[in-house]
C-alpha cells in the first residue's frame, strides 16, 4: 500500500537524506512547518501538532511523536481524536540508559567534589575517610521498566547488582523481579539505589515524596532520568542536605528556560541543589538529542515504523493517550 507521511519539523539535510534512503519506495515523504491545510497525509510526525494539523487531515491514521513520552498539550489535543493512533520513538533509549548508569556511578562515588578539589591542586580528599559506595552486591529498584528501564537493568546486572523493577504492564518476563506499581512501598526498603525512568503523568507526579524517601535504606542513591516533578522537590533537597540520602544524580528538573535568552540564567530548581556536594547535575541531556548520531538513530527508528505501516503491519510503541504514556 502507498503511504503519505509528513514531518512537521524539518531535520538537517544529512539527517533527512538518511531517512529517505531507508524508506520503502511506496512511502511518500513531505517535510516542513506548513500551515494546517497545506498538506495531507496518512501519518503525521510531530511532537506538538496543533489541533488544526489534525482536523485538516481527514484521512489521518497515525501521529508519531518523534521522541519518548507524550507532551501534555499533545495529549490534550489527541484525546479528542481517539481514532488516530499515537506512537512514540525510543531511538534514544540506549543513550538515556547510559546516562542513568553514569549518574549512578558518579553519585555513588562522590566524584564531583574530588574533581573540583584536584583542579585546584588540592589532594586532601584522598586522605579523608572514604565514604563512596561499592555497587556490586547492592540492590537497585528501577521505577519504569520500559525501553530505558530495561537497558538500565542490563547495565546494573553487569555491575553485579540485584535488580528489581516496577512496570504498569507485567507482560515482560525478564530475569529481574518485575512488580506492579502499587508494590513500590514494599520494595523501597530493599533498594540501595532508586532509578526513576518513568514518564510524567497525573499518576506519577509527586510519586516519590517525603514518605517514600524515608522508606529507602540510609545512604541510598537516587537517580532521575524520567521527569523532575515525579520526585517532590523539597523532600528530595532535604533528604540530600540532611544526609538521609547518600547522593543523587539528576538529569531532569523543576524549572526550565522559557526562551533562548533565559538559557544561561535559569535555576533548575527552587531549592539550592547546586550547593550540595552530594548531587550530580545534568541539564536534561540523557537522551543526547541534537547530536548527529542520535538524530541518525531517530531517523532509522522512524523508518522502521513507517515501513511497517506501509507493509500493513502493526507498528510498535503505541501510546495510551488516556493514561498519558
Could you say which of 1.10.8.870, 3.40.50.720, 3.30.70.3340, 2.60.120.200 is the CATH number of the domain covering 93-281? 3.40.50.720
Question: What was the pLDDT predicted at 304?
Answer: 96
Indicate the domain borders of the chain. 3-90+291-310, 93-281
Q: Cell 547535575, residue?
A: 281
Question: What was the pLDDT predicted at 171?
Answer: 59
Question: What was the pLDDT predicted at 38?
Answer: 75
Question: What was the pLDDT predicted at 287?
Answer: 83
Question: What was the pLDDT predicted at 282?
Answer: 97
Question: What was the pLDDT predicted at 173?
Answer: 55
Q: Regarding the domain with residue range 3-90+291-310, which homologous superfamily does it belong to in the CATH classification? A: NAD(P)-binding Rossmann-like Domain (3.40.50.720)
Q: Measure Cα distances from 29 to 8, 61, 170, 219, 299 in Å.
A: 11, 15, 37, 53, 13
Q: Measure Cα distances from 101 to 89, 167, 249 in Å.
A: 21, 19, 9
Q: For the chain (length 325 residues), average pLDDT per consecutive 10?
A: 90 95 96 80 95 90 94 94 96 95 98 96 94 96 96 97 90 70 97 97 95 97 98 98 98 96 97 98 87 92 96 93 88
Amino acid at each position: 500500500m502507498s503511504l503519505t507521511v509528513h514531518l512537521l519539523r524539518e531535520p538537517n539535510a544529512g539527517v533527512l537524506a538518511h531517512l529517505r534512503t531507508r524508506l520503502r519506495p511506496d512511502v511518500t515523504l513531505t517535510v516542513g512547518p506548513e500551515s494546517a491545510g497545506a498538506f495531507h497525509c496518512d501519518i503525521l510526525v510531530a511532537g506538538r501538532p496543533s489541533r488544526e494539523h489534525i482536523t485538516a487531515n481527514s484521512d489521518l491514521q497515525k501521529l508519531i511523536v518523534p521522541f519518548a513520552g507524550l507532551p501534555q498539550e499533545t495529549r490534550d489535543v489527541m484525546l479528542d481524536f481517539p481514532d488516530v493512533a499515537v506512537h512514540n520513538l525510543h531511538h534514544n533509549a540506549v543513550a538515556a540508559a547510559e546516562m542513568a548508569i553514569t549518574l549512578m556511578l558518579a553519585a555513588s562515588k562522590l566524584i564531583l567534589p574530588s574533581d573540583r578539589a584536584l583542579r585546584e591542586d588540592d589532594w586532601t580528599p584522598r586522605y579523608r575517610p572514604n565514604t563512596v559506595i561499592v555497587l556490586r552486591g547492592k540492590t537497585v529498584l528501577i521505577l519504569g521498566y520500559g525501553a530505558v528501564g530495561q537497558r538500565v537493568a542490563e547495565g546494573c546486572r553487569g555491575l553485579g547488582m540485584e535488580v528489581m523493577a516496577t512496570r504498569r504492564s507485567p507482560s515482560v518476563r525478564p530475569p529481574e523481579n518485575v512488580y506492579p506499581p502499587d508494590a513500590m512501598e514494599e520494595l523501597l526498603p530493599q533498594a540501595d539505589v532508586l532509578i526513576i525512568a518513568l514518564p510524567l503523568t497525573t499518576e506519577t507526579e509527586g510519586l516519590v515524596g517525603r514518605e517514600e524517601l524515608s522508606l529507602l535504606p540510609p545512604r541510598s542513591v537516587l537517580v532521575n532520568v524520567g521527569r523532575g516533578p515525579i520526585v517532590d522537590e523539597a523532600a528530595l533537597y532535604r533528604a540530600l542536605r540532611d544526609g538521609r540520602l547518600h547522593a543523587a544524580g539528576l538529569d531532569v528538573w523543576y524549572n526550565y528556560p522559557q526562551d533562548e535568552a533565559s538559557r544561561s540564567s535559569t535555576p533548575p530548581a527552587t531549592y539550592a541543589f547546586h550547593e550540595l556536594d552530594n548531587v550530580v547535575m545534568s541539564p536534561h541531556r540523557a537522551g543526547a538529542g541534537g547530536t548527529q548520531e542520535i538524530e541518525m538513530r531517530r531517523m532509522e527508528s522512524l523508518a522502521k515504523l513507517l515501513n511497517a505501516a506501509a507493509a500493513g503491519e502493526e507498528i510498535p510503541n503505541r501510546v495510551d493517550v488516556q493514561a498519558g504514556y
